């Protein structure tokens, strides 16, 4: 199990947190997601044999947020 922490810009409310979780949850290999609205941090626990970080970045961008790293 690996953990990736992304800095996400544009999240302003708990609805944004829910949106980010909603787009990441269906990705195969994602085990857990922790979003901290105040800091813009999104920590994703995942199985690297099933998912890759670029998938997370793309899903978040497609949801309308900016991924800073």
> What are 13-67's pLDDT values in tens digits?
999 999 999 999 999 999 999 999 999 999 999 999 999 999 999 999 999 999 9
Q: What is the pLDDT of residue 15?
A: 96
Q: Which domains does the chain have, with CATH numbers?
A: 2-67 (3.30.70.100)
Distance, in Å, from the CA atom of 59 to the CA atom of 38, rounded to the nearest integer, reads 21
Q: What is the dihedral of CA 50, 63, 4, 27, to 10 degrees?
A: -20
Strand partners, 54: none
Rounded to two decimals, the pTM is: 0.94
Q: What is the pLDDT of residue 39?
A: 96
């Amino acid at each position: 199990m690996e953990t990736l922490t992304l800095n996400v810009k544009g999240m302003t409310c708990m609805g944004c947190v829910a949106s980010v979780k909603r787009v990441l949850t269906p990705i195969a290999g994602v085990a857990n997601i922790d979003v901290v609205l105040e800091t813009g941090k999104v920590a994703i626990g995942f199985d690297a044999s099933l998912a890759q970080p670029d998938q997370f970045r793309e899903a978040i961008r497609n949801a309308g947020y900016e991924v800073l790293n």
